[in-house]
Structure 1
Amino acid sequence: MARGEKPLDPDGGPLFEFAARLRKLREQAGRPTYRELARKSHYGIAALSSAAAGRQLPSLAVTLAYVRACGGDEREWKLIWQWTADACSGTDTSVEAGADNRKGSGAKPPYAGLCAFEEADAAYFFGREKLTGMLVEHLKEKRLLVLFGASGSGKSSVLRAGVLPAFPGVSSLVFTPGPNPLEECALRLAARAGVAPGPVRAELAAEPGTFHRMVRQILAGRPETDSATDELLVVVDQFEEVFTLCGDAQERERFVAALVHAAQAPDSRTRVAIAVRSDFYTHCIRLAGLVEALPHAHHPVGPMTAEELRAAIVQPAARSRLTVESALLTTLTADAHGRPGALPLLSHALLETWKLRRGNALTLAGYRAAGGIEGALTQTAEKFHDALGDSRQKAARRLFLRLVALGEGTEDTKRRVPRRELDSGPDTDFVLEQATRARLLTADADHVEIAHEALIRCWPRFGAWLEEDRGQVRLHRALTEATTLWESLDHDPDTLYRGVRLAAAKDIPAQALTSRERAFLDASESAAQQTQERGRRSLRRLRRLAGALVVLLVCAVAATGFAVRAQNTVTQQRNEAVALRAADEAVLLSRHNPSLAVQVALAAYRQTRQDRTEDALLSSLSVASTDAGTTGSTPVGRAPVGHTPAVPADGRTLAMADGSQIVLWDITDPRRPSRLGTAEGVGLGPIQFTRDGDTLLGVDSDRTLRLWDVTDPHHPTVLSKRPTGHTDGVYSVAVRGDGRVAATGSYDDTIRLWDITDPARPRLLDTLTGHDGDVKPVVFSPDGKTLASGSNDHDIRLWDVTDPHHAALVTVLKGHRHFVDALAYSPDGRTLLSGSDDRTAQLWDVGDLPRHRALGELARHTDIVTSVAFASHGRTAVTVGIDGVVHAWDLNDRARPTSLARLTNPGGTVKEVRYLKADGTFLTVTAHHSVQIWYTDLDRALADACDRVHGTISRAEWARHFPRLDYEPPCPRRT
């Protein structure tokens, strides 16, 4: 059902008439939903809905995309748009006029677009003077700087165009780590020293002090200079590549050790500046060589102030003798202020506005025609894509997917790809040239990469590609790495694919493979066939030997019984090993072939009934049941997609915060969810239902508390919205059982309590302080008298909120060795379960406060525990984590909890878990925002398994997973 739109302002002048015409066009098209329009046009829902809101004129590209999706006349609407633009601004804003400006100018743009500012661009780099000064003083004093900031916060630009020019006369070395950081480092140092890189690489791996000695050698070979400048400034940009691209933990640690030693040696001549994305902070503190230096070396990059934004907008234009319209300056500042990661979008919008300038003026009309901060990047990317033919669009998709490193508990990142990894051909070369010209990609003689990760977040078409092909991208990335290893080891046959990996790789479309990858798969297939032939020859020999053995056994009747028993034992052990291996393969298969995965797991369980095969069956069945496929854009047998989940007490409704909106789903049958309605917001974060499920609370990225009436989930309505007063991001929101009090936990180290008795007028009750770090989870006890809060200070604080106007600290639970990320109360309120970055979950007895004690520790995760939950009966709990494992626990003895099931999500990191019913059904949300339904009832799994199957396992597939076992399909074709 299409959602209702707000009435237009009849005093809106030309904008009112323009928006009214768009709405009429949508009516004539049958009122398609904005999600349907977004799917057809590849523009975001927010951009399309705001086009018909009547508040401002959308860009021409967005307008034509809207018209195209509704089946309108594009030529007619181009004239309507130009007439409206003229009427709004009183000036000629036609696209053709803007094009004339572009053709007639060879001037250097004053803005960098998606690319980082380089040292040569320092004259145009403004707005970060204060930060630059602090970083320069830090480097002069301490020699090692680790710069943390969100993607799009400007880390690269401030180091390259701010810090480097502040060290005149000092040699610099700027590089990104890539998949082989030691090799990259050796190449750069060897080139400066004029020696071969091979020995340098070997010495760096053997001794961290090599970097320091090489720098001294390089500087000793320079002409006589002022000793004050006789140093080397090393900038390691995009340091997160040591985690996303480098798979060798030992090489990663040695690279870090070399950098830290070079900066901290007593006679150091090196200053090291490292730029790393803030969501990789926890990865950094796991590096022994870096964790000790971090307290004195790290520095955060925050968002720009309004004054800094104005300088970044106006000063580059002034340097190029251009002016910025005051209306444009006001709009740009308002659009970018307070938005994390907005700088590349702002810079790109300014670059596109510069191309549409009128004379020497950058205008608001030009900015709107470019698409604004939200749409300029999408507009550029869509224009590039639309200009390609069908075959080249497919080549573009393959190219862009190859340039992404999929996140594991973090956002997806760009991937710097060697040109040798790309097949050179007319389509690929043309796409690469056009994408580089559009500044979507950057390329040099050796490498290609995405200009900025903002493209991954803000181009809907690119996001759709990643969602559709995520599993295949992982397979393809692993194939690329295996191919590189095979080539580096001179085609060593031991590195070839076999078994399930070879079978999975065959599912990658042939046109997506390079010639190198095809050669690797061909060699793998040939080796597999040779292995099968050797197996057949061995089987024939065994049969001949078996025949001889029969003759001998006939002669040795006394030994017959013993031999039979021995053969049975060997056969049983062999079959058990085959079943265990098949169980592991089933979990891997479940991402891209769930039907086959269920059959392999079920056959393995029937062959060998162990915990391992049981867990594999439950894992495969749960994953398969939620990823069964799609028809168009409507999931069929598949859970909804989103970021933050909320489930009311009755477990019948699911709310998912998905960017700028909340989507409500009916999950009465969680296997067949049906979409209900949507509620709008601004960059929605944590959400929570009241116990009765009639009201939903959420907090926007701008720290605004919103409440919706969801009594009719098909038509949720906004009850109220008000600023929370928090000075940093809000991590969590909780609602007391009586629905009268809510709590918000924030990165500003505080908790705020709210009176929501009247949801239309929420009131602040109290602010709780005491944590020495970011407040993360907050949760009320079932009786509503206590609030628990977890923090980055490693502590859990329990607060008496009986009188929420005057809340008081009751006690502090200490014991975790790292950040506390998750909390849950048992239904009786006597036990608290906490999850931490220290990879453990801990049970606490809190039934007689202020006295408390630690109970059992759940320590089976290999990475951060991200979420925990109790079942409604309190006898079981679930913990999930970045390791992709979903652990179900038996808590009948809370001092000694035992494992019920160890389920595996092959898609990687699991971020959230929520119980749905007392029968053990629960849902999880992955780092990539897909929702999966799980249960741990083995009898139900065995009964339902074959209902999830589409097509019986073939004899060839059976032989691949169960070699030398008789063909017994667990789900035979029904007649």
Structure 2
Amino acid sequence: MEPGDPVLVEFAEALRELRRKAGSPTYRQLSTRAHYSTAALSDAAAGRRLPTLNVTLAYVRACGGDAREWEQRWRQADAELGWSVEQEDKAVPYRGLLAFHEGDAEVFFGRDRAVGEVLARLRERRFVGVFGASGAGKTSLLRAGVAPRWPGPVAVLVPGAQPVEECAIRAADLVGRSTVEVHDQLRADPANLALVLAPVTGLLVLVDQFEELFTLCEDAGEREWFIRALVALGARAHVLLGVRADFYRHCAEHEPLVEALRDGQVLLGQLTAQELHQAIVGPATARGLRLESELVTRLVADAVGRAGVLPMLSHALLETWHRRRGITLTLEGYTAAGGIDHAIARTAEAVYAALDEHGQTFAKATCTRLVALGDDGDTKRRVPRDEWDHDQTTTAVLHTLAAARLITIDQDSVEPAHEALITHWPRLRAWLAEDRDTLRVHRHLADATRIWQDLDHDPAALYRGTLLTRARDLLTTHPALVTTTQRQFLTTAHTARKSNRRRQGLSALTVACLVAVLAAVGLYAARTSVDNNRRVTEAVVGQAMAQARVLRSSDPSLAGQVALAAYRLLPNPTIRGGLFDVVSAFNQANETPGDFDETHQVVFHPGGRYLYTASHGALNVYDFNGTPTPKFSHAVPDLGAVGRVAIDRTGRTLAVAAVQGPVHLVDVTDPRAPKVVAAVPSAGWVEPHFSPTGPILVLFETFTSAVHGAPQPLSEDVIRVVDVRDPAHPVERASVRADEEAVGFNHAGDLVTQNPGSEIHLWDLGDPAHPFRRSPLPNASAEPYVALSRTAPIAASATSGSTPVLVGTDGSTRLWDTTDPLRPRATGRIPGMVALALSPDNRFIAAANRENVEIWDIRDRDNPVQYAVHIASNFTFGTVVFASDGRSLVIVRNNTSGLLWPVDVSAAESWVCQRALRPIAPDEWARYFLNIDFADPCAPQPGP
């Protein structure tokens, strides 16, 4: 299948027409809706290859198309392009290397005892794990044994590389909802998986090959999300895991999983001689076949007592079936197939020998690509279909291997039928042993190519230097390994390198000529050379930082050192932000729902050690305990559903406003033992604010009341001034109606408010019993305050043109000098307006927009300087809050999970180097920083 194939052209044109009918949204907009990269979506409509079914349906749903119609269209195109393998012959009694699935229950024998044990355990508890060695038959047991006997519906799930997406697809299919909609809901909170599946009664969620969570999923955040989602689901439905026994220790590293599996584990052992007899004879009898008694005796003798023997046994039986005499499977046929020990190798060798020389080259490349290399042993690897070429040779080789049941092809991926192929085919083991470095270079190239595609072919993501040279060597030494897309990546990188060298050469020639003609122009030439070198360094460092982001889940020690070295070489805001991103990922809980799950407000204790969050409707306390990472301490009981929270200037009292109910005053003199000391009654939604200058608490209360004759309830706003000198006995001094919103206190103790016309008012609370409102601030109606310093005359406001808004993408943030609060002076302006925060020392301001969170150094108010950038896509609303010491920032996006993000370079450096398991080696350095002198980033730095 080549680009230009009529089937591809027609399919791609239909996708493009669907996009036109949807109003021609940009691919960035489609990416936001579909949760796929812009590169994947644009490639889907390019007509170069058939996109996967999942990408196609995501594209269609993002354009408002009919998913059912497009699924039929995709399957038709897939069949016409020759990817699919013929339907299984229903007369075949044995599965070979393939596992038994739900449709094979009638030929699945030998595991009645284990199936009964699993079902009994499921009746006792909702969360069960089945552990067994590779080749013990876990998948067959679960899918052909347990699933058909379960009295209710069964959903089968395999984690893969993107478990959140897999959950969304399976859950959406089960409840008949949009995958995109379900994906958004699941991303917001892992507990939502239970809510999505709640309508399905008696559900069993069967998670097969759970170990893929550790072998294929490289994102620690997604791993943690998946575990938390399953544990939460276990409270409403039954969950059954199938796990390879050698991944038991990986499961033990996750406390929620340990607790969920406590007393809920089934260990799958070897089949007894009697069970082996049933597994051998039963399938043949069910298909009207018979086995020679000598064959049965030999098979049981060859298999009994051997660990992991089932795939080899099944494959030997399949090959014996191919050599049967009439309806009888014979010992002669079994011997000719090679028996248990050699049947897999003989089948694989026969398939390989039947290919021509060109096909054999591609078979080698194909099989080695399907293996994940590991220091503790190689495992099978699932490769997405969009990473394969669709040319005639590749398609034919894949089809041939699949027809022999050595590999499996589904709608989205290709993988070995079983890991027994790796261990029992000597030729494949030899291929893997002969040049593992080359295979790792190719695996690195595949990852880099995908990153380049995901970044819309960003030149900064291209290979350079040694990486490019080593990868281009594959084009000569192992051309069959390199796909068309990878060739495009290498060609683009090579062209960029030649262009850069040409520019450098021309620059050198220009310098020589100019020096010969006019020495005075040498300064210009020198600057040109410096600019060229700077651009090269920027490109190398940008690529290194991109690789550090990829490494942070698989090798955080190396990722941290690469990121720190990149920052030392190029300390600009983007690279500094990349360093902070990598450091934040050292704490796995940072980017996973859980620690700050469903948080809508964060308040730091002035002392800096503790913080409080309004999460899940409760007030939670977290303890830093001298580390950069907060750990959950406890939840404050008896508060009801929590709305807003504020803390006084001394750090002794919290004001906790209930969603419906009073405002609780909580004594946090000892943050480890908070206690409610008083409750101020309330009739509506309350927003508390403590004065920075005195013991004054302002409650801005909004409540609605029904008025006779009015079509809707009327809303009323009241400012209540409460004296909290004795928090246990608060005294309300005044209550004033005000048709305006409270922004907060400024540094001088004035309450700042904004009315519906966007006028700004200052309320003097010098006499708490008689607050009065001053005249509107001049020239402030277009830019309402949205962030106020509590210690200095600084304020920040957000605006979009002449219309004040708090949420948007086209506006900016204005800084104000409020030395004279009645005559604020406009100073610098910075982009960003979704959320704002000023650091306690007034050095930084954090400004968020839909694409990122930017930290700006505002020590020079008139000329703020960008300091660091954190990418936070789809930040439509949320919170940014600086820690009390100003060295870190909590970012809560869309009231989902919170991220603790460092903003102090020295702390980040210390965090990286304390966790460097070993220093970065010179050869590793050369891989990321070509032609840049080696410098250990964690070596002692020279003094000033």
TM-score (norm 1): 0.43
TM-score calculated relative to the size of structure 2: 0.45
